């Protein structure tokens, strides 16, 4: 057996920890990451010296002119291994856009191959001082010389173009997209570790917010925060010897970008085409179909991503996800709804780059979701946009 099927349920998550999510740092990011990593390792019933693999992705997704420094504005796997005093066999990081899903892939392969026995995987997000995306450049060299001189700059205008094309092509409205932000904030407001804890949003609030890049407002974008989560992974065999119920990884699929375009010009065509191809690989590799997944936690760093992921994965035909959302299809308080944002997502928790989705999959499948516990055995997370991001399927059934 080769390819993704060979990895099915070979690796499991056995522990986790999450820091508070805060807007402005009260503690240096590296210290928060260090504390969170130690807590995750203890959660798995282990000590840092037993961890022989360290994996992380470190992107700060800002177009601003910020200085980057390991331990301060990002936290690499190397930094973590050294500061924990470990003696690792593998230290690695993922370089592409699909940061959390890509680093999970490295962990899964390293464990399944037998190269390492225990992996600490972490992601630390930083909120730089000052305006997040503003850039005072007067001259622009390299790739961005083709887009910045006309004012096309940063991720938001590119996403807003693809969203506008979706709206025009399929008849979607901002009144419908409001329901995505409201659903995310509903769950974020119920989570003490979320930035938006205690702060739900109404459709009226959403529609009253001025647009930044029409058709998108601040409420269509996740808010930059500082926050960390860490996970311990091991092989399925070893997972049985640890205190918590293992959550197995059934498979994954990724996209790695496609068409050569202006920087951050992500077109709807690409998202649809590459997303469909990603889903085909995911279902083939895991043996599941969309219908088998009771908890598909979809990435929502920008609200319209929910539409394209719902359609790419096959929950709705192309162009119909917005009608489904308009009818309350993702409102998890309604019977029969598809629970895509019950972890609060990025819009409800803050700019944590897929961590809310991963945390919700883990906690629900490990039976550690407390009052929010659902009866589920197969969950899924997606991260980033379908043409450059990834998806991972989890189960608590090792069969």
Partner 1 sequence: MTARPVPVPDETSAEYWAACAEHVLTLARCSNCGQFSHPPDIICPLCHSPDPAFSFETVDGGGKVRAWVTIHQSFLNGFDTPFMLVDVQLDDQPTVRMIGRLLDGPDAPVSMGAAVTLGFEDIAPGVSIPAFRLGGAA
Please report, as ranges, the residues that interact with partner 1 according to CB under 8 A.
63-64, 131, 133-143, 145-154, 157, 160-162, 164-165, 168-169, 210-216, 259-262, 265, 267-268
Q: In whole angstroms, what is the distance from residue 237 CA to residue 396 CA? A: 14
Classify 231 as helix, strand or coil: strand
CB closer to partner 1 out of 145 and 373? 145
Q: Minimum CB separation from partner 1 for residue 168, in Å?
A: 5
Classify 163 as helix, strand or coil: helix
Type and span of the H or E element at 284: helix 268-286
Apex CA 68: angle with CA 66 and CA 74, to 5°? Answer: 120
Structure tokens at 95: 């370089």
Picking from 158, 267, 275, the residue whose alpha carbon sits closest to that of residue 221 is 158
CB closer to partner 1 out of 209 and 292? 209
CB closer to partner 1 out of 175 and 214? 214
Q: Minimum CB separation from partner 1 for residue 95, in Å?
A: 18
Picking from 165, 131, 130, 137, the residue whose alpha carbon sits closest to that of residue 151 is 137
Q: Minimum CB separation from partner 1 for residue 258, in Å?
A: 9
**φ, ψ for residue 103 (rounded to 5)?**
-70, -30
List 221's β-bridge partners, or say none. 302
Q: In whole angstroms, what is the distance from residue 386 CA to residue 190 CA? A: 28
CB 180 within 8 A of CB 325: yes
CB closer to partner 1 out of 108 and 268? 268
Dihedral sign of CA atoms 43, 46, 47, 48 in order: negative
Q: Minimum CB separation from partner 1 for residue 279, in Å?
A: 24
Q: Minimum CB separation from partner 1 for residue 146, in Å?
A: 4
CB closer to partner 1 out of 177 and 234? 177
Q: Minimum CB separation from partner 1 for residue 307, in Å?
A: 15
Q: Minimum CB separation from partner 1 for residue 11, in Å?
A: 34
Q: In whole angstroms, what is the distance from residue 279 CA to residue 296 CA? A: 13
């Amino acid at each position: 057996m080769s390819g993704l099927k060979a990895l099915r349920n070979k690796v499991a998550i056995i522990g986790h920890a999450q820091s508070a999510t805060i807007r402005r740092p009260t503690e240096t990011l590296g210290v928060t990451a260090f504390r969170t990593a130690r807590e995750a390792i203890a959660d798995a019933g282990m000590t840092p010296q037993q961890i022989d693999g360290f994996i992380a992705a470190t992107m700060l997704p800002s177009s601003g002119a910020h200085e980057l420094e390991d331990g301060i504005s990002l936290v690499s796997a190397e930094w973590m291994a050294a500061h924990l005093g470990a003696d690792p066999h593998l230290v690695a990081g993922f370089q592409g856009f699909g940061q959390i899903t890509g680093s999970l892939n490295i962990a899964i392969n390293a464990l399944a191959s037998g190269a390492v026995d225990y992996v600490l995987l972490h992601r630390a997000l930083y909120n730089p001082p000052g305006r997040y995306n503003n850039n005072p450049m007067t001259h622009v060299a390299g790739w961005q010389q083709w887009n910045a001189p006309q004012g096309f700059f940063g991720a938001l205008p590119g996403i807003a173009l693809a969203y506008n094309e979706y709206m025009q092509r399929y008849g979607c409205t901002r009144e419908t997209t409001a329901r995505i932000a409201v659903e995310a904030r509903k769950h974020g407001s119920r989570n003490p570790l979320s930035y938006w804890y205690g702060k739900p949003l109404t459709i009226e609030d959403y529609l009253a917010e001025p647009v930044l890049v029409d058709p998108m407002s601040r409420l269509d974008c996740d808010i930059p925060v500082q926050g960390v989560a860490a996970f311990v992974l091991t092989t399925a065999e070893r997972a049985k010897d640890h205190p918590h119920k293992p959550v197995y990884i059934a498979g994954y699929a990724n996209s790695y970008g496609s068409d050569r375009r202006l920087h951050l010009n992500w077109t709807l065509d690409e998202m649809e085409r590459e997303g469909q191809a990603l889903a085909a690989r995911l279902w083939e590799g895991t043996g599941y179909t969309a219908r088998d997944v009771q908890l598909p936690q979809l990435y929502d760093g920008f609200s319209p991503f929910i539409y394209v992921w719902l359609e790419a994965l096959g929950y709705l035909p192309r162009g119909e996800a917005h009608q489904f959302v308009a009818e309350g299809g993702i409102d998890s308080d309604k019977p029969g709804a598809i629970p895509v944002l019950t972890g609060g997502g990025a819009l409800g928790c803050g700019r944590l780059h897929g961590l809310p989705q991963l945390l919700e999959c883990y906690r629900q499948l490990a039976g550690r979701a407390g009052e929010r516990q659902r009866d589920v055995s197969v969950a899924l997370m997606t991260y980033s946009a379908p043409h450059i991001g990834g998806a991972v399927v989890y189960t608590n059934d090792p069969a």
